[in-house]
Amino acid sequence: MEITEVLVAIVLGIYLFLPALLPNSAAVLFGGKTPIDFGKTWRGKRILGDGKTWGGLIGGVATGTFFGIILIAISYFFDPVDFWGYGAFPQNVGIVFTLALGSLLGDMCGAFIKRRLGMERGQKAPGLDQYDFVAGAMLLTCLFFPDWFISTYITGTGLISLVTVLILVPVLHRSVNIIGFKMGKKKEPW
Ligand code: CTP
Ligand code: MG
């Protein structure tokens, strides 16, 4: 394996995962009033809580997908066959959509688990807060586009891309949340 292959795998790992990274930050900006669980409880505790709203879900998925389509459009001019790793059109549009939707579904699963554990909205859950959306994005994408997912994040230099995502996500997550906190958009800096 050559050093350039390793570098490409590192950059591609994050680049191709951008449609999954963006929705979380966008959800903070789009976060509306109506909670996804409509305020309902299950066994005495909120199903998801007030931190998961329809506005955040729809705005977040739309932002991630829209951004992904822009990346696909740009890469078309340079690499009309593989679109810099997103793969052939129109499947690549499906891929950026499942990355964006899966990311926020994973975030909702994380919130569901936090509520079951009796944790309040915004309470810190190390590990879960950083990886729930990564797991959601990867699982949903792997379900609908297994060949793309396996060749991008598992086989060959794919594992390097996967490890890059797993290492960089907590760092990015933390940085973005501190920015959101300073902007007054987020109640906690995590
Ligand atoms: N948000 C939203 N809808 C979503 C996801 C996020 O409106 N589907 C908004 C909410 O305003 C939320 C903020 O983005 O408070 C930050 O998201 P996150 O950190 O995931 O939520 P928390 O407030 O920490 O709540 P939880 O404990 O349920 O994770
Ligand atoms: Mg949180």
Ligand 1 atom closest to the CA of 28, numbered from 1:
14
Q: Which of 21, 22, 28, 104 is the pocket-test mutation for ligand 1 (most atoms within 8 Å of CB)? A: 28
Ligand number nearest CA of 114 is 1
Per-residue model confidence (pLDDT) at position 72: 98
Per-residue model confidence (pLDDT) at position 1: 84
Please name the residues in contact with 68: beta carbons below 8 A apart, sequence gap of 6 or more. 18, 19, 86, 93, 95, 96, 97, 99, 100
User: Each residue's pLDDT tens digit in the chain (190 positions)?
Assistant: 899 999 999 999 999 999 999 999 999 999 989 999 999 999 999 999 999 999 999 999 999 999 999 999 999 999 999 999 999 999 999 999 999 999 999 999 999 999 999 999 999 999 999 999 999 999 999 999 999 999 999 999 999 999 999 999 999 999 998 998 999 888 888 8
- Whether pTM > 0.95 for this model: the answer is yes
Closest CA to 143 of 98, 88, 91: 98
Per-residue model confidence (pLDDT) at position 189: 86
| One-letter amino acid of 132 | D
Per-residue model confidence (pLDDT) at position 42: 96
Q: Which of 52, 107, 169, 188 is the pocket-test mutation for ligand 1 (most atoms within 8 Å of CB)? A: 52
Q: Residue with structure tokens 């490890």? A: 163
Output the six-digit token pair for 32.
Answer: 């509306």
Closest CA to 119 of 188, 34, 30, 69: 188
Q: By the 8 A CB rule, do 100 and 58 touch?
A: no
Q: By the 8 A CB rule, do 158 and 152 touch?
A: yes
